[in-house]
Amino acid sequence: MKQTKDKIAIIMRSYNDAEVIRGTLEALSRQTIRNFELWNFDSTSNDGTIDIIRKFNRADRIQLNDSATYNPGRVLNEAVATVDADIVVFLNSDATPQDEYWLERLIEPLADPTMGAVFGRQVARSDCRSLFVKDTERAFGDGSESSGWMHFFSMASSAARRTVLERFPFETAITYSEDIEWTYRLRRGGYRIRYVPESVAMHSHNYTLGQSYRRHFGEGKAEGYIFREGELNYSWLRYFLMPFGMEVMRDLRWACERRSLDALLHSVPLRFTQKWARWRGQRDAARQMSDSSRPPPARSDSYTFDGNAEVEARIAMDQSLVSIYVRDAVPDEHFESLVLMGGYGRGEGGYRLVDGKPAPCNDYDYFLVVKGMSRREAGALQTRLREVAERLEHMVGVEVDLAVLRKETLASAPFTLMNAEMKWGHRVIAGDRWVLQAMPAMPFDNLSLGEFTRLMNNRGALLLMNAKTLEGARDIVGEEREVFFRYLFKAVLACGDALLAMDGIYHPAYAEKRRRLTLVGELPCRDFHRLYRLAVDNKFYPDSGLYESQDLEALQTRVTHCWLNTLSHLESHRTRRPIGSWRDYARPQLAKGQLEAHRRWRNFAITVRDFGARHALRYLGWAVRYPRERLISVLPLLLSANRDGQADLVAVPLNIPRETGWSETVDGYLHTWQRYA
């Protein structure tokens, strides 16, 4: 018997599998690795399956779900949230391990941190019809055939680390091929997928023609959803006729080699049913595909939401000015492109009138794409550009942000909200206009909810700045009052984004956001739609005199309440567990969904560098988390109405003395936030 240092949980789904599940459970009991927990998730079987399970597993590890409302992605996500393990193994109840090394060999590749998921070999059962045997051998075998396919994976015998599953939960919008969608997302997120032919399970089905039609129709619909960025050619010729003909030819050759009359007679009706159903399913998906899954291109013919020619000319002049100064700061051999991001980049910028003339009111955010520069050289350029940005701010009247991006890193750009929005909506001011085509596909509906946790944290930090401003107990007027309202409304807009993300309908365009928010059922406060409308209006048409009579403290309390409720709802949705209190939430054991979370050794090194070795060793739970998770953890406590009794929970992650007052604690928070936001 072999032990592992990792905690392992095996998740087994079942439905009316009494004929085969006993053999699967007995095979598990003979594995070389025995220190695993078995969790059974049964869809209320009525053939005695549950009685068999009870003979092999404890009652508290047997969960029942309703087969009438079964959704594979939802059940898998709930199962992952239920188990406590470092490695989660998925084994169908009808996938029977063929030797005692099945588990040991399956999880071995997960020692590599770049490995996203693994899946084992499947062999057909003895009663399997000939063509289904052939399909199983072709898909699995030594892996040489499927390795040439665009993407292949099977959840029936597979495993992944919990950290990966938390970052990439299963999709619930589809009811077929959830394993294909999940691992395709992992690959685009930079993880590798490994086939382990040495780990073998017996698994096959004999589908009737009717069952084959339903299954392949469902898989075709799922493929239309998964590969909606144009990865596959769905024409009748390429997706039905050619695959049908080629599969029949392969069947005939196989039937002759095996002398199988069954395969010879079964081929044409089976392959016609499968390929026709798959093509019909994809066409059905194409008709039903909502805007949320494939947003239309951002506007590129204007900078503002509805500005006139005078407004557009003013902003265009600013872009020419910025371009000149940036080009002067970068050697020609290293310059690739200057990309305008944000509202102005996607044609949704705002403007105001200053002395009767139009002027920008939002920041100008840019990515300067350079080529042939080392990381150190790009960092030195970033430092030089700060002076350029300060000079430009005085000229154009709004903040200018210039971030350096190396062209060589575009193909491996992480799947973040900022990168997804930049790829979807931007405007190249100078240089190669197609430069961002090198970035991987980043559909909004596949964004990790942790990205919206990060957005909420950044906007909540603005509310914290407002809270500190109110602590001064003085009149807030002029530009300071304008900034106060800007921060309030940015927090409201972030709440809207989080609500859309939770429902899987996030969209970057504000006109579409407002429409989709009317579809959201649970809102964080009663007048949220009114608050959101005010926030959007303030973004596009800020009016410094509009809120002169507003009670700032009352409005701050109202927006903070909305922000806290939204964050609680978001984090409950992301973690799939209720947020009992902000004190519990502030502990390091609860991951905050950040992309850097799995890089524990790197995070530890950062902690030693920035917080000290003594702090890192004493508070190891925080030391292996990326510092942004500290900020996310304590911000709700700092914004809560009751600030008493929170000193220990806030002081440790911020690395400040426990007796530090609230105002000084906020200073410490904001100092750390500026570095890790």
DSSP state, residue 296: P
Please, which residues have CB within 8 angstroms of residue 54's CB and are 6 or more apart in sequence?
62
Q: Among 345, 335, 397, which Cα is nearest to 366's?
A: 345
With respect to residue 237, please indicate whether it lies within any of the assigned structural domains: yes
* Domain finish residue from 229, 261, 289: 289
* Measured distance CA(311)–CA(331) in Å, rounded: 32
* Domain finish residue from 439, 467, 497: 439
Please, which residues have CB within 8 angstroms of residue 390's CB and are 6 or more apart in sequence?
none
H-state helical runs in 301-425 = 309-329, 342-345, 375-396, 417-424
* Measured distance CA(137)–CA(139) in Å, rounded: 6
With respect to residue 564, please indicate whether it lies within any of the assigned structural domains: no
- Count up the domains in the chain and report the number: 5
Same domain flag for 125 and 154: yes
With respect to residue 562, please indicate whether it lies within any of the assigned structural domains: no
Same domain flag for 46 and 70: yes
Same domain flag for 248 and 380: no
pLDDT tens digits, one per residue of 580-627: 889 999 999 999 999 887 788 999 999 999 999 999 999 999 999 999
Statement: the pTM of the whole predicted model exceeds 0.75: no
394 SS3 class: helix
Same domain flag for 339 and 422: yes
With respect to residue 567, please indicate whether it lies within any of the assigned structural domains: no
Same domain flag for 244 and 199: no
Whole-number pLDDT of residue 293: 44
Same domain flag for 395 and 329: yes
Q: Among 496, 537, 528, which Cα is nearest to 361's?
A: 537
Report which residue type is found at 148. G
Same domain flag for 511 and 638: no
Same domain flag for 478 and 526: yes
Same domain flag for 270 and 159: no
* Domain finish residue from 289, 321, 356: 289
With respect to residue 573, please indicate whether it lies within any of the assigned structural domains: no
Same domain flag for 518 and 540: yes
Report which residue type is found at 562. C
Whole-number pLDDT of residue 292: 42
Ranges in the chain, pLDDT < 50: 290-297, 299
Same domain flag for 350 and 367: yes
Phi and psi for 85 in degrees, rounded to 5?
A: -160, 155
Look up the CATH number of the domain holding residue 172: 3.90.550.10
Look up the CATH number of the domain holding residue 400: 3.30.460.10
Same domain flag for 452 and 397: no
With respect to residue 298, please indicate whether it lies within any of the assigned structural domains: no
With respect to residue 662, please indicate whether it lies within any of the assigned structural domains: yes
Whole-number pLDDT of residue 154: 94
Whole-number pLDDT of residue 102: 96
Whole-number pLDDT of residue 646: 65
* Measured distance CA(564)–CA(437) in Å, rounded: 38
With respect to residue 568, please indicate whether it lies within any of the assigned structural domains: no
Q: Which domain holds residue 333?
A: 309-439
